[in-house]
Amino acid sequence: MSEPIKTDVVIVGAGPIGLFAVFELGLLDMKCHLVDILDKIGGQCAELYPEKPIYDIPGIPYTSAQGLVDALLQQIKPFNAQYHLGEMVESMEKIGGPLFRVRTDQGTEFESKVVVIAAGGGSFQPKRPPIPGIEPYEGTSVFYAVRKMEAFRDKRVLIVGGGDSALDWTLNLAPIARHLTLLHRRSEFRASPASVNKMMALEGEGKIDLVFGQVTALEGSGGQIAKAIVKTNEGSTFEIACDALLPFFGLTMKLGPVANWGFELHNNELIPVNTENFETSMPGVFAIGDINWYPGKLKLILSGFHEAALMAQKAHHYVHPGKRLVFQYTTSSTSLQKKLGVAPQRAQA
Ligand SMILES: Cc1cc2nc3c(=O)[nH]c(=O)nc-3n(C[C@H](O)[C@H](O)[C@H](O)COP(=O)(O)OP(=O)(O)OC[C@H]3O[C@@H](n4cnc5c(N)ncnc54)[C@H](O)[C@@H]3O)c2cc1C
């Protein structure tokens, strides 16, 4: 096994609050690694409502959810956080005082002085399609995400779904798969019109097959799928020979592994914290954003931003013990401006 990554802070979740935590921690000289099960940055904003307008971010009368994520990424750029996307944090254990070992389902291991749980409503997990007997194939020849495109080179791939993920992976895998079939229930797609047009062009050129219907059964052995049985909307049945099945039926949010990290959860789903610094019952472990609970909690982005600022003050004690923390404004502190990479502003007369 490779050496663990040593860092000041591991942030579980790269939603808006995990991202802003990088800023507040960075101003106080703490380096961060962020882990997210999604293959993109931005949490609910990026996954659930990227184009919806948000009107209640202080000082920003209007932005789209993706616009907010992009602005946060720009704001935290000076702090050079490291991202580990497509990985789920599975375990977190205390190995020192405080020092934590954090492990992901992809085998990445961290050793950090502080853990910040910014896991929102929990981990996004793929919805399993209603195909009887699909379980034995999962992870071997049925996949709910594409971690490495190369794994599908020269394979006969069957993609099922009509949303953005199904269409994006159809476009991306068509050039490397031996044969690719896109199967959808009906001729209307939820994916962006641009992707649908590109997919239709591929179909027109004979580079992919587009089929309407639903998978009703799978055949294969030892976890390796050989064919899918498909029922058309008219009721007839036929087979599609395939080596890999990629069903994209959307995502649901589940608390996931956080439930096993030793917290007494509020309503079985939220991590109680104190409102002085948003630390959990475990010293050195903080919970901010939608995942936490305290009397009066509001699941708003602005609440999470406030929580991140106070969390960073206490985290500093663990990461830089004995070092005095001086409260400073970014408007007037040349040292903070240096960290942000902006030219120091002259004091006004
Ligand atoms: C449709 C909609 C509209 C909204 N509109 C507004 C609005 O106008 N104003 C407002 O303030 N709020 C709004 N919200 C709420 C807002 O989006 C949330 O408050 C905000 O996203 C919380 O941010 P977060 O970073 O705490 O969590 P999230 O955005 O949920 O991000 C958490 C991340 O943690 C990851 N994660 C969880 N567990 C693990 C694990 N074990 N390992 C790795 N990664 C993990 C998840 O994959 C996720 O990406 C809206 C929400 C929705 C759904």
Whether the CB of 69 sits within 6 Å of ligand 1 = no
Helix intervals (H) in 247-327: 301-319
Mutate-to-test residue for ligand 1 from 20, 33, 44, highest number of ligand atoms within 8 A of CB: 44
Q: Which has more confidence, 275 or 165?
A: 275
Q: How far is the CA of 38 from the centre of ligand 1 (A)?
A: 12
Q: Beta partners for 100?
A: 94, 112
* Residue the block writes with tokens 């040593």: 6
Provide mean pLDDT across the span 54-82.
96
pLDDT higher than threshold 50 for residue 349? no
Higher pLDDT, 285 or 121: 285
Q: Which two tokens stand for residue 282?
A: 């475990």
| Angle, alpha carbons 305-109-90 (nearest 5°) | 65
Q: Which amino acid is at 226?
A: A
289 Cα: distance to centroid of ligand 1 (angstroms): 8
pLDDT mean over 108-130: 93
* Mean pLDDT to the nearest integer, 298-309: 98
Minimal CA–CA distance to 79: which of 345, 343, 349, 338?
A: 338
Q: Is the pTM of this model over 0.95?
A: no
pLDDT computed for residue 216 by the predictor: 96
- Residue to mutate, 301, 303, 305, 311, ligand 1, most ligand atoms under 8 Å from C-beta: 301
Q: Give the pLDDT score at 1.
A: 57
348 has pLDDT over 70 = no
What is the tens place of the pLDDT at every residue in 31-56? 999 999 988 999 999 988 888 899 99
For residue 53, the ligand 1 atom closest to its alpha carbon is 8
Helix (H, G, I), strand (E, B) or coil at 1: coil
- H helical segments located in the chain: 16-27, 43-47, 65-76, 164-173, 193-204, 301-319, 334-340
Q: What is the pLDDT of residue 345?
A: 58
Q: How far is the CA of 300 from the centre of ligand 1 (A)?
A: 9
Return d(Cα 112, Cα 166) in angstroms, integer.
37
Mean pLDDT across the chain: 94
Where residue 347 falls among pLDDT bands split at 50, 70, 90? Answer: low
83: its two tokens: 């991202």
- Ligand 1 atom having least distance to the Cα of 290: 26
Give me the mean pLDDT over the 326-348 stretch. 84
- Tokens of residue 86, six digits: 């497509």
Catalogue the E-assigned strands of the chain: 5-12, 32-36, 53-54, 63-64, 82-85, 89-96, 99-104, 109-117, 123-126, 156-160, 179-184, 209-212, 214-221, 224-231, 237-241, 244-247, 251-254, 271-272, 285-287, 292-293
Ligand 1 contact via 319 beta carbon (within 6 Å): no
CB of 35 within 8 A of CB of 135? no
Per-residue pLDDT tens digits for 199-246: 999 999 999 999 999 999 999 999 999 999 999 989 999 999 999 999
Q: Are 163 and 184 in contact (CB under 8 A)?
A: no
Q: Is the pLDDT of residue 168 over 70?
A: yes
